Chain A
Amino acid sequence: MSEIDEYVEAEIQRLLTEENSLAEQGITVHRREHFLQLSGEVASPQRRDEIVRLVRENFPDVPVRADIGVTRAQAPREAEELS
């Protein structure tokens, strides 16, 4: 297994934001013991899949696990009273 160093972490974080098909600033990159974890929430399943695909494509030697949710978009059932 290749070593996941801080520079790789930084490169992936920048890829997530600067790659035009991603433009994600809400994903956290964590270096775990044997893999690199991507976590956070995105607006659609397609965006989640594209993040994982591009990170794997650009960093083929880095074992990546994704725990990325799709943000729910239901109507609120309650209002907040601000008196």
Chain B
Amino acid sequence: MIPAEEAHRDRPHTMISVAAVADVHMDDDVLGRYRPALDELPGKADVLLLGGDLTRHGTVSEARCVATEFGNLGVPVVAVLGNHDYHCDQVHQVVQILTDVGITVLEGDSVVLDTPGGRLGVAGAKGFGGGFAGRCASEFGEPEMKAFIRTTCDIADRLAASLAELDCDVRVALTHYAPVPDTLAGEPLEIYPFLGSYLLGQAIDSAPTALAIHGHAHHGTERGTTPGGVRVRNVAHPVIKQAYNVFHLHVPQSPGFATAGTG
């Protein structure tokens, strides 16, 4: 481990520095709490990723708190929403308020950011539940059950397509729900199907993804890996116990670097 600020300043331009946090659950009682740490971001990271559950109930006033806290940070901010952000059926207004302060909100789409270290591609989707291989729901039986798992399938398909279409040096997948069970360790086994789905992991593994970021599991653990070997990090605020985590992603120099312009 090296001090984040020093490493960012002196690092060779073959590295992209990604800060990430999820489950900040903003409301006016938390306003300003993250800001001192966020003000240090330009020295520490090229981008901040927000992995959903930005609000408590997804209201307009809570979204304004998110915009105040996470807007105008001096680094690009890319977010997905979480289940809490859907609670009050005001998703359109919430997204608009975040977009108005320059936060990019992804749902089944992607963005490419030019950083000193290279082009960072972020594909994002909220994700959904269903469970993990061998212990998962199937598209079978009652319409409600079929709709549940079909929702996850559709979201995972869009995430896979977004990752595939990215033209960048380093790919990151951003979700709220977990793509692997590894990072849920600490949660009751019985609720795993509500915390994530292997279909998200499969989507992440379908492209050369460098890192998968998620939240949602407050009692989970930080580190995991997809079956295909992609590093997974749970950045739920109660898990990381600080304002955000910083990841240094090494940009492939060759042959990836040489072919990046033609890809």
Chain A interface (Cβ within 8 Å of chain B)?
20, 23, 25-26, 28, 40-41, 43-44, 46-47, 71-83
Contact = CB atoms under 8 A, between A and B. Distances in A.
Given A26-B218, A44-B30, A47-B29, A75 B40 contact: yes
B30 A79 contact: no
A73 B25 contact: no
B74 to A, nearest CB: 14
11 contacts: A23-B87, A43-B24, A43-B29, A73-B34, A75-B244, A79-B17, A79-B246, A80-B1, A80-B233, A81-B1, A82-B250
Contacts of A72: 241-242
Contacts of B87: 23
A76 B2 contact: no
Interface SS majority for chain A? loop
A76 B246 contact: yes
Contacts of B231: 82
Contact of A82 (B2, B8, B34, B210): B210
Interface size class of B (residues with CB under 8 A): 35 or more
A47 to B, nearest CB: 7
A15 to B, nearest CB: 15
A73 B23 CA distance: 12
Interface in B204-225: 210-211, 218-219
B37 A77 contact: no
A19 B70 CA distance: 27
Contacts of A47: 29
B33 interface: yes
Pairs of residues from A and B, 3 with the lowest C-beta to C-beta distance, nearest first: A26-B218, A75-B37, A79-B246
A27 to B, nearest CB: 9
B37 A74 contact: yes
Contacts of B233: 80
B211 A77 contact: no
B238 A23 contact: no
B150 interface: no
B172 to A, nearest CB: 10
A41 B248 contact: no
Given A23-B87, A41-B218, A74 B56 contact: no
Contacts of A80: 1, 233, 245-248
